[in-house]
């Protein structure tokens, strides 16, 4: 049984810069919550959950148009939901 380690809160964001892709938007949100680039970069499933919450985003292409509103879902990080490991990780 997995154990919840952290809850990423839901958010509604509007793209405010050009050439922004959804994976970068997701990473920025994860980093703003987790305050750790290494952990934010290893979260599994958040991008997919964001596409599920915004089914029309895939039609927009890789680069989101300026002003696009994206609903970022609440997401439970469970032990084991982080991929990869480095020698200096605990």
Residue pLDDT tens, the chain, 90 long? 557 788 999 999 999 999 999 999 999 999 999 999 999 999 999 999 999 999 999 999 999 999 999 999 999 998 665 655 555 555
Give a yes or no: residue 5 inside a domain: no
Q: Quote the pLDDT of residue 11.
A: 98
Closest to 10 measured CA to CA, from 59, 56, 46: 46
At residue 71, the 3 state secondary structure works out as: strand
Task: Give the span between the Cα atoms of 29 and 85, in whole angstroms.
Answer: 22
Give a yes or no: residue 6 inside a domain: no
Tell me which DSSP letter residue 17 carries.
S
Q: Quote the pLDDT of residue 35.
A: 95
Give a yes or no: residue 4 inside a domain: no
- Determine the structural domain holding residue 15 and report its residue range: 11-78
Give a yes or no: residue 88 inside a domain: no
């Amino acid at each position: 049984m997995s154990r919840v380690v952290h809850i990423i809160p839901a958010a509604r964001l509007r793209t405010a810069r050009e050439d922004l892709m959804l994976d970068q938007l997701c990473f920025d949100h994860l980093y703003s919550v987790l305050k750790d680039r290494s952990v934010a970069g290893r979260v599994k499933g958040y991008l997919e959950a964001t596409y599920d919450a915004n089914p029309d985003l895939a039609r927009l292409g890789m680069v989101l148009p300026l002003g696009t509103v994206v609903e970022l879902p609440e997401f439970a990080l469970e032990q084991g939901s982080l991929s990869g490991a480095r020698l200096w990780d605990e």
